[in-house]
Chains A and B, each alone.
Chain A
Amino acid sequence: MRKQHLDGILKSKIFWAIIAELAILIVCGILRPDFFRLKWIDQTGMWSGSLIDIINYSSEITIIAMGMSMVIALGGTDLSVGSLMAVSGAIALKLLRWDVVEFPTPGDFTVRPFALVILVPLVVCALMGAFNGTLISRFKMQPIIATLVLMVAGRGIAQITTNGKQFTTMFEPFRQIGLGGFIVPMPVIITIVVVTVMALFTRKTSFGMFVESVGINRNASRVSGLRSNRIIMIVYIITGFLAGISGLIYSSRISSCDSNNAGLNYEMDAILAVVIGGTSMTGGKFSLAGTVVGSLVIRTITTLVLFLGINPDAIMAIKAGIIAVVIVLQSEPVRRKMSELGKNRKQAIGGEARA
């Protein structure tokens, strides 16, 4: 019985994602002996250390990947999240800098109350998510095509919002979102809240199961009484909303909006995080915990590359190489081989329940 349990662990994707993460961390630790050390900084009232940095800078990806996990579980993809981040940042900065006419300069904000600066971008992003959801559920468009619309149009909308300019803000409450913190940096706190809420929402209600059911077979789910369309709609709205949160964190970190670079290629990183976390692109089961690990793996690789002091020209190639190794490690044949080696005996080929 225990052996079977061990076998299951050895064959699960999340186990190998954690192994990969630990391996990269250990390499970092060897390179920099003080890598795991945490230091208390009095001025900011926060802990500081490489581990916290990794979680801090992975937060944007982790947050959008929460939505992406469900989208992928539905058998879809959402390519528009990166552009929605740009939209969210652009709207927030537009509201903060209503005074800017020609040349952007730092100044005070003019739209009050401050809550609007946070709420309007989130609502707009949720509406854009609803737009994606409508195209996919009502008009039966392929998710990759439907979300491509906003992926392309989103940056244009962001550009129009700010009239093609980069606004800068010095408004302290807004800067707190990305730069502030309490014991740990604020983005880490926001991430923990988002992950907890999403985990409770999908696992403590039956919503997560509904999503998996629709992902496995949309029509069968509908026939057995699930409103597939409504579930698809809700998932895309949530994803849009989460992209909005990420966009606010991103633009707060830089106290500015950047319609061209904000969230650029983040949709790919988010998909990668979900895949490394063990959710299959064909839909069905999803694992939020796996996604969090996947997102950390991606960020840790970047940190490792920075620590190695690699020539900037080679960074992308090195990152791609490590990610390829992680994904191969997780592939079905390798995992099966590993678990056979681990048990050192021949075993019946079972595979996962839904492989």
Chain B
Amino acid sequence: MKKLLTIVLALMLVLGMTVNASALTVAFSQIGQESDWRTANTDDVCGAVEAEGWTLVYDDAQQKQENQVKALRNFISQGVDYILFTGVVSSGWDEVLKEVNEAEIPLILLDRIPDCADQIDYVAAFGGDFVEEGRRMAYWTANYVEKLGRSAEELNVVILEGTTGSDAAIGRAKGIAEVLEDYPNLKVVASQTGNFSRAEAQPVMESFLKSLDKIDVLLAHNDDMALGAIEIIKNAGLVPGKDIIIVGCDAPKTAFDAILAGEMNATIECTPLYSRFVVQTIKELEEGKEFDKTVIHPEEGCFDAEGGIVYSADGRVSEKAADVIADRKY
């Protein structure tokens, strides 16, 4: 009896191993859950990996680099098949990512590309184009102003910047500045950080309203800050979306609601839905296809109340928020 049990157990072990060997193990080191965007990003990627029947090893670093370094080393010792990686900061990854290379585990960079990217090997990289997002915010604004017939008017622009030093804030600021150079009627009169947070954007907007005589346009590096500022603008007795043109970035569902309510004018998309890319890339890598090291950007749109406004240099046209809100997942 005992023997039989041993044999059965041994058989189960062997079978179990063969089953495991056929499925891929995909590890994902995520920054944490600092925003709706990040949550949607995590849910989307993790959900897709599990839906493929692959084993998912997920680690939430709670905004700490040391947690991520630890997680990456764990992934190496577990011998996972793929590592998906988003770095909480841009520097300081050289050592641990080289260890990943030495372990010969294919590395896929998501969202934030670390500084040392040219010194390490990675099989693919995917992320938003922050500079282009900044350009689009400015283009949309300029074209919208033209549509309103106010392009001869001198308009005061204020900017709520993202977290000082973050890739997204630097990129978007650069893109905005680049395009606004061509539109001298749009004059940036103040630019201050709101740390990508609703709460911190509010006192900053408050001080803009108090210290400037006239504000016509608000460009917020993300929609959360725009939404925080809207409350302040309302409390100051102004009508957001009319007295002040408000353009945000990211395009979560909350921004769509604000656009439909007429309180916000437009949002430039920065999609967190990476699952299609991740799944497709891993499948193609399994088939032996190779990618070069250039960062692949997602297809992204721009949404406003009425649609039909050109928002990029290559002539892309914005979509109507009301038409797409039903499909928004986050």
Contact = CB atoms under 8 A, between A and B. Distances in A.
A254 B35 CA distance: 13
Interface string A15-54: 0000000000000000010110000011110101110010
A254 B192 contact: no
Interface string B186-197: 000010110101
Contacts of A165: 33, 36, 39
Contacts of A48: 235-237
Nearest to B207: A306
Interface stretch (B68-76, B95-103, B198-206, B281-289): B198-206
A41 B202 contact: no
Interface in A223-273: 250, 253-256, 258-262
Majority DSSP secondary structure for residues of B touching A: helix
Contacts of B207: 50, 53, 303, 306-307
Contacts of B211: 32, 306-307, 309
A217 interface: no
Given A53-B206, A258-B198, 6 more contacts: A46-B235, A106-B253, A106-B254, A106-B257, A312-B161, A312-B164
Contact of A260 (B32, B36, B200): B32
Contacts of B36: 104, 165-166, 168
Contacts of A258: 197-199
B329 interface: yes
A170 B45 CA distance: 28
Nearest to B325: A105
A57 interface: yes
A165 B254 CA distance: 14
A306 B43 contact: no
A69 to B, nearest CB: 24
10 contacts: A32-B210, A103-B39, A103-B43, A103-B253, A106-B257, A168-B254, A250-B199, A255-B227, A260-B32, A306-B207
A2 B182 CA distance: 68
A309 B164 contact: no
Interface residues of A, number: 44
Interface of B: 32-36, 39-40, 42-43, 60, 63, 161, 164-165, 190, 192-193, 195, 197-200, 202-204, 206-207, 210-211, 227-228, 231, 234-237, 253-254, 257, 329-330
Nearest to B257: A106
B212 to A, nearest CB: 10
A173 interface: no
B161 A159 contact: no
B263 to A, nearest CB: 12
Contact of B253 (A105, A254, A303): A105
Interface in A296-345: 302-303, 306-307, 309, 312-313, 315
The residue in A46, A106, A164, A250 that gathers the most chain B C-beta atoms within 10 A of its C-beta is: A164
A179 interface: yes
A104 B231 contact: no
A118 B195 CA distance: 28
Contacts of A35: 210
A103 B329 contact: yes
B166 to A, nearest CB: 11
A188 B330 CA distance: 34
Nearest to A180: B235
Given A103-B329, A312-B164, A41 B237 contact: yes
A41 B192 contact: no
A42 to B, nearest CB: 7
Nearest to B213: A34
Contacts of B200: 261
Contacts of B253: 103, 105-106
Question: Which 8 pairs across A and B sit closest by C-beta, in order of nearness?
Answer: A312-B193, A254-B198, A306-B207, A164-B33, A41-B237, A103-B330, A312-B164, A254-B199
A102 interface: yes
Nearest to B192: A312
Nearest to B203: A57
Contacts of A312: 161, 164, 192-193
The residue in B200, B204, B235, B253 that gathers the most chain A C-beta atoms within 10 A of its C-beta is: B235
A208 to B, nearest CB: 32
Contacts of A44: 234-235, 237
Nearest to B194: A312
A261 B210 CA distance: 26
A57 B192 CA distance: 17
A71 to B, nearest CB: 24
Contact of B231 (A34, A50, A179, A309): A179
A102 B36 CA distance: 11
A274 to B, nearest CB: 22
B203 A302 contact: yes
